[in-house]
Amino acid sequence: MIKNDLFLRALKGESVDRPPVWMMRQAGRYLPEFMELKKKYDFFTRCQTPELASEITVQPIRRYGMDAAILFSDILVIPQAMNIEVQMKPDFGPYLPNPIRNAKDLDSVVVPDIHESLGYVLDAIKMTKEKLEDEIPLIGFAGSPWTILCYCVQGQGSKSFDLAKGLCFSDPVTAHNLLQKITDTTIAYLKEKVKAGCNAIQVFDSWGGMLSPTDYQEFSMQYMQQIVDALKKMAPVILFGKGCWFALKDMANSGASALGVDWTCSPRNARYLSGGKITLQGNFDPSRLLSPPAKIKKMVKQMIDEFGKDNYVVNLGHGILPNIPLENAGAFIEAVKEYKS
């Protein structure tokens, strides 16, 4: 039994004294203890070494006492497992030297055996669960198939993902074949994560906002729906689409337990667009953590008042930034723990 099950209760829609809180990307780059490990080990070594990944996962919990931990990993371990090379270049980001640009490029892309290709993630989950000692739940995650496709086709990060969208619109058959392979791999991966001990799953559709509402249905939502359908009986699923306010209604009807909201959508609009019943998560602008701590606390209380304490998980509207002062991150967490309606 999880001792602090506030997060899981909020996902079920139960009434709570205060909403739970965690922060996207809380395991990582704003923490000095993480930066010490970063000096010694490269990015994928940190991801692929269970001892390191589990240690990084629990670092913010020791420091701040969030209500949930999220496993330190990366969405791009999926294409790696599918036989697509992924490098993480310092001061550049992800780089895929052999992007998928046509049907022939798909021939070498596999749907892998999860234990063979991603067993290190499952080992990291088991080690993390031992360190957490059932104090709080552990979240596992994956990127949405559309977001993974963006990197696989573009070959790197982008402001427009024009090559990725170009493949979808000029050769939709190849695009859908790639999306389905990513979806099949992601479902198998997330199922194994739950079996290994993850208490909830989040799907990050980081680049969903690049698509029009019509294209979103075709190239993103239908594949996330497959993931929700496959996972929802095993564990609660949170869907987070950055810039995807237009899809909140469809996401709310997907069978997901909660929806992440970014800072461009007000609590009132998020409740309205999602139908007013489903648990919402978010949506503090990560840059707002550069405000003075007293201001942060005031804004967090206002945010909870606007969302309501029930059917709500306090979070940022995207990942925490590397330049956030430790005191400010602490003020964000403290404001939630001190909350009284």
User: Binding site membership for substrate: which residues?
Assistant: 25-29, 44, 74, 151, 206, 318
Is the distance from CB of 143 to CB of 75 less than 8 angstroms?
yes
DSSP alpha helix (H) spans, the chain: 6-12, 32-40, 43-48, 50-64, 77-81, 114-132, 145-154, 162-170, 172-196, 213-216, 222-231, 248-252, 267-273, 293-307, 326-337
- Burial class from Cβ neighbours inside 10 Å (0-12, 13-18, 19+) for residue 170 reads exposed
Q: How many CB atoms lie within 10 A of CB 159?
A: 6
Question: Greatest CA span in the chain, whole angstroms?
Answer: 59
Phi, psi torsion values for 320, nearest 5 degrees: -65, 145
Phi, psi torsion values for 153, nearest 5 degrees: -90, -45
Report which DSSP code applies to 221.
I
Would you list which residues are annotated within the binding site?
25-29, 44, 74, 151, 206, 318
CA 219 to chain centre: 19
The one-letter amino acid code at 321 reads L
Q: Which residues contact 104 (CB under 8 A, 6 or more apart)?
A: none
148's tokens? 């993974």
